[in-house]
Amino acid sequence: MNFTSRFSAPAWRPISAATTAFVLGFAATPPAAFARSNAEATASPEAPGWQQCSALRSDSVARLQCFDQWAAQQAEPDAPEPSVQKAQPTPPATAPVVITMTAPPAHNCKNPRFSELSRFWELEAGSDCGTFGIRGYQPISLSWIGSDSVNTQPTSPSPGHTAASALPFGTNEMRIGLSIRTKIAQGLLTQNEPSKRDSIWFAYSQQSNWQLFSGDLSRPFRTTDHEPELIYIYPLEAELPWGWQLRYAGLSLNHQSNGQPLPLSRSWNRTMLMAGMEKGQQFHLLGKLWYRQSENPDDDDNPDISDLIGRAELSGYWNVNPDHTLGVTLRHSLRADSNGSVRLEWLRKLGDSGFAGNNSGLRLHTQLFSGYGDSLVDYNRRRTVLSVGLSLVDW
């Protein structure tokens, strides 16, 4: 074996010119170029950089330089790939929002914007307080009354209807009046007129005469009248002469009795036509025309009641100012004998709730009545009665 020829070259022999050129151009040449220029590279051009460096097995210096270059490249952050954003559709143009709705008017049967009759019968949408609420009807009152006479022994043309003996009732007594109503239905015939409200009401009124000053009789209630009523009201807007306006028409089924057994029993049933008109806020005119429903003569407690109390009623009220009201009520028999009655009254407002158009409803009242029918038991007795007291109206 020739050892001389095998080991004659030193281990540090110079690098060939090709190798030197390869190393000098390494910095400008990526590792993939080494794989393409090195005949001994086995990795594919798509292989990662470290695999390309590993393929340089024939030249350790170039291999080391390749790995150093690859490591330097790993320390640098990768440039972010440009993001491709989808084009967003352009939203359709929207018209600006214009608020045109206004708050609906508050429904309030005490609203001063509406007339007195509109509030009382809730004739319009804005003066409507709904169904099944409790409202006043005739005034709730407590008063002292003094009369020119008193019926100590009530009588009637019907057999068995005359008191057996007289009682020493006094001409001075107290009177208590109670009256309430509730609306049980509305909008029956005015469905095509949303601004109007027709209605059905049930009402109950009671009047008691109390012999408070008759201590020797143990202060009894001399008489108490009960008056249930079913009322239908239809709103109207008819212009009348001299600035008057017809506001409503109505129909009432009315029963009135004193709830006493014979011989003091008194009662009658009526069908009433009603109407109301007004002139501004000052004047009101209310009318009633009734027909007494016929009864069996054997059961009729008071056959002549229509000829005495009357068949029609007309009431007029004048609001002199916000504190004072004057009123007159006429009843007439519509017969030649002209029976009936007249009642004059003055009401003075007491107290105020503190805001315009609304008040406490409490009144100081004074009334003067003359004629027939101050109470049912007195239907056939003419008397004159002065009454002074307190009344609660339109509550």
Which CATH number does the domain housing residue 138 bear?
2.40.230.10
Same domain, 56 and 180: no
Which of 283, 195, 288 minimizes the C-alpha distance to 250?
288
Task: Give the total number of structural domains in the chain.
Answer: 2
Which range of residues forms the domain containing residue 141? 116-392
Does residue 127 share a domain with residue 211?
A: yes
What b/e readout covers 355-373, taking b as 16+ CB neighbours within 10 angstroms? eeeebebbbebebebebbb
Question: Full-prediction pTM beyond 0.75?
Answer: no
Question: Is 97 a member of any domain?
Answer: no
In a domain, 7, yes or no: no
Residue 92 lies in a domain: no
In a domain, 260, yes or no: yes
Q: Which residues contact 35 (CB under 8 A, 6 or more apart)?
A: 41, 43, 45, 47, 52, 55
Based on the fold, state whether residues 30 and 154 are members of the same structural domain.
Answer: no
Q: Is 124 contained in some domain? A: yes
The reply to whether 241 and 293 lie within a common domain is yes
Report yes or no on 233 lying in a domain.
Answer: yes
Q: Which pLDDT value is given to residue 69?
A: 80
Pair 131, 67 in one domain: no
Q: Based on the domain organization, do 269 and 340 belong to the same domain?
A: yes
Strands 245-257, 199-210: pairing is: unpaired
Q: Of the candidates 37, 56, 72, which is a domain's last residue?
A: 72
Residue 94 placed within a domain? no
161 vs 347: CA distance, rounded Å: 38
- Which residues, given as ranges, of the chain have pLDDT below 50? 1-29, 31-46, 79, 97-105, 354-357
Please tell me the predicted confidence (pLDDT) of residue 103. 43
Is 133 found in the same domain as 67? no
pLDDT at 54: 72
Kindly state whether residues 32 and 134 are assigned to the same domain: no
Do residues 64 and 171 both lie within one domain?
no
Do 171 and 235 fall within a single domain? yes
- Of 391, 394, 327, nearest to 364 by C-alpha is 391
Tabulate helix, strand, coil % of the chain (nearest 5): 15, 35, 45
Contact 185, 199 (CB under 8 A): yes
Q: Where would I find the H helices in 254-394?
A: 305-309
- Residues 342 and 232 reside in one and the same domain: yes
Mention every residue, 6+ apart, whose C-beta is less than 8 A from residue 288.
Answer: 252, 272, 273, 274, 312, 313, 314
The strand pairing partners of 276, in sequence order, are 248, 286
Question: Are residues 124 and 32 part of one domain?
Answer: no
- Is residue 101 a part of any domain in this protein? no
